[in-house]
Amino acid sequence: MGKLLPKRLGTAGTGDAQLLRKPELLAPAGDWECARAAIENGADAIYFGLECFNARLRAHNFATTELPEIMARLHERGVRGYVTFNTLVFADELAQAEDFLRKIIAAGTDAAIVQDVGICRLIRRLSPDFPIHASTQMSITSEAGVRFAAELGCSVAVLARECSLQEVAAIREKCEADWVSLPLEIFVHGALCVAYSGQCLTSEALGGRSANRGECAQACRLPYELISDGKNVPLGDRRYLLSPQDLAGLDALPGIVRAGVSSLKIEGRLKSPEYVAAVTGVYRRALDKAWAELGPQAEALASSTAVSGKPAASGETPSAQEERYQLDMTFSRGFHTGWLEGIDNQQLVHARFGKKRGVRLGTVKSTTPHGLLIVPEGPVKPGDGVVVDQGRPDLPEAGGNVNAVEPQGKLLFLRLHGDALQRVRIEPGSIVWKTADPALERTLRQSFEVEQPRYKRPLEARTEGADGQPLRLTVWDEEGLEAVAESAQPLETAQRQPLAEAILRKQLGRLGDTPFFLAALDNRLPGGLMLPLSLLNACRREAVERLLEKRRTGQRWTLLSPSDNEADDETKMTAGPEAIPPPSAKANPALIPLVRSLEQLDAALEHPAGDIYVELENPRRYPEAVERVRAAGAGHTVWVAPPRIFKTGEDWIIKQLLGCGADGFLARNHEHLRALAGQRLRGDFSLNVANPLTARWLIERWGLERLTCSYDLNASQLAALLESAPPAWFEVTLHQHMPMFHMEHCVFCAFLSSGKDFRDCGRPCETQSVSLRDRVGAEHPLKADAGCRNTLFNARAQTGAEFAQDLLGLGVRHFRIEFLNESPQEVRETLHRYAALLRGEINGTQLWHELRLVNQLGVTRGTLRD
């Protein structure tokens, strides 16, 4: 009873009808105020983090001890609560992670949002039924990723932000064709990461802070210069080359619903409660409207009050212009549909600024020490905050609060508080932005600083009884929970005014400070009966309170005790290395070069026989690379490294791989695991192997020969992994230019062409050598792959040479040496020096001084020698 009705609609491109359900609206909550803002503005669910293991450590977050109270309050309001457990977890943290997870499950949390494969495995050991949502940090971009998540026991898959609606619909259709019916969640509003979530190593490479551990330093929001073939490319005031506009999927909502999306996620656990209130309210109204207008059953379903809640407060619905203003003012770097409507590299990044702006007020005509004379374009009033944007990130910005607005013909003079304008010379033509509106903030706060519930959810009721029997009142909510109460006295024949349906509706609808409104009444009472209204009201109060108590109790998940898992081999493995056979001390260490050009390959072939990894931008050149290895005749084996991301429609790349004749492949994503099954496979760093549970799943389930340890591991964390699982499972990258940003955004297309994507950009990536120069003068090389995705590499190579002997002692026998733009001679010299290092002929300090490398293993702080 009370469940939302599905709609069966035709899908674009098919003649079949699909069963659609109204998507959940999922809002962020960085603290209690944000949670209230989400609840009172119509969120169906919120997501929030705890003290650790969440990807927004800078948010206030909640304490684990608060979980029971949080969940009771959410459930009373008909709102689900999901805990973000969306970071990688290291081997020496698994015991702590298990303790956190037990508390999360016991508190009746509705789900955990998880990035780490090993944590999914751990949750399933602890509870067979607790819901897991596969985080966007899992980089799910195709149906293979959804199947991967389903096999791990996930109940929802959060797709990468880079998926278009066409790709989302295709993923859903292909999954359903294979009987994989995992609900799909996408982001619809908020900040866009320029890099694929779960694949960004920039903060770590530059500052020792891991984005996969909740410590993103937002290097994408900084200015860069574009260098092409050694020359600076003049871009005017466009300096923020990696800072996307914020996502706004408002206009795309009908298409999102038609694509079969089950949950609409709003970004913003670091944002203010006013932001949460505004965005949740705007999307609540838009989603309800889009749902009501869909399909042939729209009119009937729109009239069913059981399909959504409603605000209790009266008042006019904001206009579209007013709603856009709220979105702009609460947080905006400019809005765009992101990748929802496909790739448009000219629109995604405007590159003028990388921080919050708000509403554009106009341009500067002239200035005085006390204010700005502007050509107005937007509304402004005393009390608003403004800032002047000169398109010069090297200059401090001027601005302040408006004391007075003085019309001067068609111009406006903004008299500002303080002396901010006296410190900066402002050029005419500079843009003025409104960055704060205290009046709007007060209005938004009023939406959630309320004594009684503002947003109410539907309640349905049924009345039954007969003369001489108690009135029986049954109530139920939209989730199907129900409660029953009976009147303290029996019904009797009415002498004057019987209980007509109008009276029942009025009295049962007096739900006051409860979180309900009466959506429907099924009156089964015979006519001509009466009951004192005081008893009817008491019956209503009792039934509603019983229903609320059921809601507060929430779902109770199975939670197994530690003894239930004593026979679990995985549990034994995470307890320590004693059950693992020691590595053979006789095995010779092997260097595995990864090369990115045929010239580097020729140089690597001069090294003693062994494995060589080859990564080329054009997969059609792999047969030539394989032929060169075969022609060398020195016993080398060649392994191909495909693109890190696979998206629907890129099967041609898989065909090229299978036909190139390579000895094996580096599996870098979910599609490689499935499509290349039966081939020799090794897992690459992009699979984010940080603990033994993840390693075991990939080795045993997917038949991988070996795994590259995650680049998030520092030396001590790497040691913990090697001590908790067979060292023979792993190889360690000892030398590389760290791949920092890996992104769908194509800098070549956006700033070296006028095209939208690969179809009209002219392919400047094939003819120009490009790098991005940062604020300290480092020039980071930029490369494109076969899918037109870009990777920005660290300008300087780094080495873990000083840790090589410790790693050998821990059992590591396979070391990767990655090359980027090095010449053939540099490849020869580097391999020669590392071979000498592993033989003990030179030490690590000598090597990194000789090669002028950054002395660093992994990207987070730490050392093997504690």
What percent of the chain has a predicted confidence (pLDDT) above 70? 89
Contact 273, 282 (CB under 8 A): no
Give me the mean pLDDT over the 489-493 stretch: 95
For the chain, the helix, strand and coil percentages under 3-state DSSP, each to the nearest 5: 35, 25, 45
| Phi and psi at residue 401, to the nearest 5° | -90, 145
Helices and strands per DSSP (H, E), number in the chain: 27, 41
Residue 312 has a pLDDT of 53
pLDDT of 305 strictly over 70: no
Residue 423 has a pLDDT of 74
Give me the mean pLDDT over the 584-598 stretch: 86
Contact 467, 529 (CB under 8 A): yes
**Per-residue exposure over 404-433, b if at least 16 CB sit within 10 Å of its own CB, e if not:** ebeeeeeebbbebeeebbeeeebeeebbbb
Identity of residue 862: G
The alpha helices in 790-851, defined as continuous H runs, are 804-809, 824-838, 844-851
| Phi and psi at residue 534, to the nearest 5° | -65, -35
Give me the mean pLDDT over the 656-660 stretch: 96
Q: Is the dihedral of CA 110, 115, 116, 117 positive or negative?
A: positive
What are the CB-based long-range contacts (under 8 Å, 24+) for 759-764? 761/345
Give me the mean pLDDT over the 453-465 stretch: 96
Least confident stretch, 201-205, 541-545, 724-728, 738-742: 201-205
The model's pTM is: 0.92
Secondary structure of residue 505 in the 3-state scheme: helix
Angstrom distance (rounded) from CA 290 to CA 256? 10
Instruction: Write the pLDDT tens digit of every residue in 83-120.
Output: 999 999 999 999 999 999 999 999 999 999 999 999 99
What percent of the chain has a predicted confidence (pLDDT) above 90? 78
What CA–CA distances, in Å, run from 97 to 86, 100, 134, 779? 12, 5, 17, 39
pLDDT of 298 strictly over 60: no
Q: Which two tokens stand for residue 611?
A: 């494995």
Tell which wins on pLDDT, 501 or 569: 501
Select from 84, 81, 74 the least CA-distant residue to 110. Answer: 81
Mean residue pLDDT across the chain? 89
Give me the mean pLDDT over the 814-824 stretch: 96
pLDDT of 584 strictly over 70: no
- Give the CATH class of 358-446: mainly beta
pLDDT of 863 strictly over 90: no
Least confident stretch, 65-79, 353-367, 386-400: 386-400
Residue 204 has a pLDDT of 66
Residue 347 has a pLDDT of 95
Angstrom distance (rounded) from CA 431 to CA 546? 58
Contact 700, 706 (CB under 8 A): no
Angstrom distance (rounded) from CA 400 to CA 418? 7
Give me the mean pLDDT over the 423-427 stretch: 84
Residue 216 has a pLDDT of 76
Residue 542: which pLDDT band, with cuts at 50, 70 and 90?
very high
Instruction: Write the pLDDT tens digit of every residue in 551-567.
Output: 999 889 999 988 666 54
Contact 685, 695 (CB under 8 A): no
CATH code of the region 586-737+797-855: 3.20.20.70
Instruction: Write the pLDDT tens digit of every residue in 748-774.
Output: 999 999 999 999 999 999 999 999 999
How many CA atoms lie within 13 Å of 818's alpha carbon, on the beta-carbon side? 23
Secondary structure of residue 214 in the 3-state scheme: coil
CATH code of the region 22-192+245-294: 3.20.20.70
Contact 783, 790 (CB under 8 A): yes
Give me the mean pLDDT over the 268-276 stretch: 94
Quote the DSSP letter at residue 766. G
Instruction: Write the pLDDT tens digit of every residue in 181-198.
Output: 899 999 999 999 999 998
Q: Which two tokens stand for residue 99?
A: 């303790």
Residue 581 has a pLDDT of 45
Contact 732, 812 (CB under 8 A): yes
Q: Which two tokens stand for residue 470?
A: 């108690």
Residue 297 has a pLDDT of 46
Residue 315 has a pLDDT of 56
Angstrom distance (rounded) from CA 641 to CA 750? 26
Angstrom distance (rounded) from CA 362 to CA 377? 5
Q: Which two tokens stand for residue 767?
A: 């003819």
pLDDT of 2 strictly over 50: no
Instruction: Write the pLDDT tens digit of every residue in 673-702.
Output: 999 999 999 999 999 999 999 999 999 999
**Common-topology check for domains 22-192+245-294 and 586-737+797-855:** yes
Residue 178 has a pLDDT of 86
All residues at 6 or more sequence positions from 556 whose CB lies less than 8 Å from its CB, including other chains: 108
pLDDT of 638 strictly over 60: yes
Angstrom distance (rounded) from CA 693 to CA 575? 11
Q: Which two tokens stand for residue 781?
A: 């090389």
Q: Which two tokens stand for residue 366?
A: 């002239």
Angstrom distance (rounded) from CA 479 to CA 78? 8
The alpha helices in 467-611, defined as continuous H runs, are 501-508, 533-553, 569-575, 598-604
All residues at 6 or more sequence positions from 808 whose CB lies less than 8 Å from its CB, including other chains: 589, 838
Residue 561 has a pLDDT of 86
Report strand pairing: 470-477 vs 184-190: unpaired
Select from 23, 16, 19 the least CA-distant residue to 8. Answer: 19
All residues at 6 or more sequence positions from 656 whose CB lies less than 8 Å from its CB, including other chains: 619, 620, 622
pLDDT of 706 strictly over 90: yes
Q: Which two tokens stand for residue 542?
A: 């009792």
Q: Which two tokens stand for residue 495?
A: 């002498």
pLDDT of 44 strictly over 50: yes
Angstrom distance (rounded) from CA 35 to CA 280? 11
Give me the mean pLDDT over the 706-714 stretch: 93
Contact 53, 118 (CB under 8 A): no
Least confident stretch, 52-61, 135-144, 639-648, 773-782: 52-61
Angstrom distance (rounded) from CA 843 to CA 838? 9
Angstrom distance (rounded) from CA 116 to CA 130? 16
Give me the mean pLDDT over the 373-401 stretch: 91
Identity of residue 483: A
Contact 374, 414 (CB under 8 A): yes
| Phi and psi at residue 569, to the nearest 5° | -60, -35
Residue 571 has a pLDDT of 42
| Residue ranges of domains in the chain | 22-192+245-294, 358-446, 456-553, 586-737+797-855
